[in-house]
């Protein structure tokens, strides 16, 4: 594998790897490549269903078509969120590896396309491009992991403010006002608390303070965020 990676690095610049071997092109590679073609199976899950259990042997890899999923340690600690075009179960390629997390549906419904892990391994180990698809995926996962570690180290108000900004950027809904984003509806205060390791009362108090500063605007089922004002607020913490 190391030799293949060295050979491929001569064909692709470091700057172009992420673009050429994105998760979207990886999906196309799985479906369209003439060598070891893979046919996925579509499955649907409902809210609170578990797609993969923590410590369960990973036999399949899942591509999310629609909906939102949370990765969890235990029953209350959320490590990350996943949505359309993202991949579950791809971190470890060896057979009989166990899942590090449980993957729980947090939207009303999630649709995935499931591929057997054996087919994925065939693609990765028998095609040169496969190494880079896995490399890019792992690098993205590591980057997100370090981002989360840095987030948890912050004081409570700064932690919640930055988490709201990041989650709005990744999953928020645009509004008519380009500076205002609707916070993802599937991530309520309790779920946000599990993500930033704070209790719901602390989350409520911090959001109320941001509301007083005209940064957050509460709504019936979610809240709206003035991204520009929130960015300026976060800069004052630095």
DSSP state, 76? T
Examine the fold and report which residue of 151, 176, 202 is the final residue of a domain before the chain moves on. 151
Residues 140, 223 within the same domain: no
Q: Could you tell me if 135 and 26 lie in one domain?
A: yes
Mean pLDDT for 115-134 is: 83
Rounded to an integer, what distance in angstroms lies between the CA atom of residue 158 and that of residue 161?
Answer: 5
Tokens of 120: 């994925």
- Of the pLDDT bands very low, low, confident and very high (cuts 50, 70, 90), residue 182 is very high
Claim to verify: residue 160 and residue 144 sit in the same structural domain:
no
pTM assigned to the model: 0.86
How many domains is the chain partitioned into structurally? Answer: 2
Mean of all residue pLDDT scores within the chain? 88
Residue with structure tokens 């060295």?
6
The verdict on 82 and 50 lying in the same domain is yes
With beta carbons less than 8 A apart as the criterion, state whether 227 and 168 touch. Answer: yes
> Alpha-carbon distance 8 to 173, whole Å?
39
Q: Is pLDDT above 90 for 75?
A: no
User: For residue 65, is pLDDT > 50?
Assistant: yes
CB-based contacts of 143, cutoff 8 Å, min separation 6:
none
């Amino acid at each position: 594998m190391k030799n293949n990676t060295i050979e491929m690095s001569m064909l692709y610049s470091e700057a172009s790897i992420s673009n050429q071997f994105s998760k979207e092109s990886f999906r196309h590679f799985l479906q369209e490549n003439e060598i070891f073609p893979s046919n996925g199976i579509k499955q649907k899950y409902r809210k609170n269903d578990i797609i993969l259990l923590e410590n369960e042997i990973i036999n399949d890899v899942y591509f999310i078509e629609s909906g939102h999923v949370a990765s969890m340690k235990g029953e209350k600690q959320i490590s990350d969120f996943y949505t359309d075009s993202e991949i579950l179960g791809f971190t470890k390629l060896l057979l009989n590896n166990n899942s590090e997390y449980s993957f729980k549906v947090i939207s009303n419904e999630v649709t995935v396309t499931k591929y057997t892990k054996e087919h994925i391994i065939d693609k990765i180990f028998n095609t040169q491009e496969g190494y880079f698809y896995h490399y890019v995926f792992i690098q993205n996962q590591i980057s997100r992991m370090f981002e989360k570690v840095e987030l948890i180290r912050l004081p409570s108000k700064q932690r919640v403010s930055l988490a709201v900004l990041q989650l709005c950027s990744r999953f928020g809904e645009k509004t008519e006002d380009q500076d205002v984003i609707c916070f993802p509806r599937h991530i309520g205060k309790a779920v946000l608390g599990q993500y930033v390791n704070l209790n719901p009362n602390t989350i409520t108090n911090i959001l109320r303070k941001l509301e007083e500063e005209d940064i957050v605007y509460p709504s019936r089922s979610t809240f709206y965020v003035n991204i520009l004002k929130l960015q300026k607020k976060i800069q004052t913490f630095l």
